Structure 1
Amino acid sequence: MATRLQTEINQEKTAAMQYWPIFNLTTGQFIGCCGLKPVVNGAELGYHLRSEFWHQGYAAEAAAAAIHYAFNQLKLPQLVAGHHPANLASGIILRNLGFHFIGTEYYAPTGLEHPTYVLVNRRQVNPKATR
């Protein structure tokens, strides 16, 4: 756990991105985390929520905030994201956020092909475009 925390701290210092904790603003309960990890040509968006908070809109809300930060503050050209093939809800969230399916990618920790998506920053492609 300490190694993972140090990785996130270092990524924040060097790339201005990390996985940030998500808390319920009313109760203060820890919900999970959401954030960005540097990859070639942008960043990877990810989120991990405690199961009791699934299907309540937290993942979509946190991911939307991370996308806004990535595109408006960091000016990244694109984001990629993936999910466990059995987690159909995450695929729906990503598509609702504007991500487009581009194929599958082998993910060694699960030994499975994971659906992979991309979201292009339209302002970087066309600086006069508005969202």
Structure 2
Amino acid sequence: MTAANPMLPGPSARLLFRWWTADDLELARGLWGDPQVTAKIAGEPFTPPQIAARLAAEIDQGRAHGLQYWPVFLRDDGAHVGCCGLRPRAQGVHELGFHLRSTFWGRGLASEAARATVEFAFGPLAARGLFAGHHPDNTASRHVLLRLGFRHTHDEWYAATGAMHPSYRLDR
């Protein structure tokens, strides 16, 4: 939890959110250590130091801004599904992002987590708008964003993958 903003999205029908902590390195390894996941984020697998740095960055993001890509868990058995959350982007606009463990792909969990996060952004956070982007080969993320009402606005260079990523906007 953070002093800046102790609130979280959700819960949803199947999911719970919480804050990342320094004790979550194994969860982070399970998510960002999966080459199928990181192929769409960074174009290559994360090394153990990169995984630890990513976890530290999420924790720091929470402390500094009261936002992070929060870890997400199944309500029924507590299994770690991945993460979904927000980053500050511009005045009143946040960036929505979600990364799911590959074993949970295709179950509608990204849509459910993202929907809870959008409701949180436009509800308690009173965001004016949301930005989101995805790897050009990630059609599943595109479908999630379109189902949530995001509209394609432009393609944006993403240095981590060396590709132009389709980018979207959702206004309140």
Indicate whether the TM-score tops 0.5.
Answer: yes
Aligned partner of 1:54 in structure 2 is 105
Measured after TM superposition, the shift of residue 9 of structure 1 is 2.4
Show structure 1 runs of 5+ residues with no match.
122-131
Shifted more, 11-20 versus 89-98: the winner is 11-20
Q: Take 1:61 and 1:12, find their aligned partners in 2: how far apart are those partners?
A: 22
**Same amino acid, percent of matched pairs:** 48
After TM superposition, where is structure 1 displaced by more than 3 Å over at least 4 residues in a row?
none
Q: Which residue of 1 aligns with 2:83?
A: 33
Letter in 2 for 1:51: S
Q: Could you tell me how far 1:22 is from its partner in structure 2? A: 1.1
Compare relative contact order (CA 8 Å, sep 6+) and give the higher one, 1 or 2: 2
Structure 1 residue 102 and structure 2 residue 102: aligned? no
Equivalent residue number for residue 91 of structure 1: 142
- Secondary structure at the residue paired with 1:73? coil
Higher strand share: 1
- Name the amino acid aligned to 1:67: V
| TM-score, structure 1 normalization | 0.86
Q: Distance in 2 between the 1:30 and 1:13 partners?
A: 22
Instruction: State the secondary structure of the residue aligned to 2:87.
Output: strand
For residues 56-86 of structure 1, the C-alpha deviation after alignment (integer angstroms, 9 at most, x for no partner) is 0110010011111111111111100001111
Work out whether 1:64 is the aligned partner of 2:118: no
Q: For each residue in 1:15-67, what CA deviation from the matched residue of structure 2 results, as whole angstroms up to 9, or x when unmatched?
A: 22111111111122111100101111311000000111111011001001111
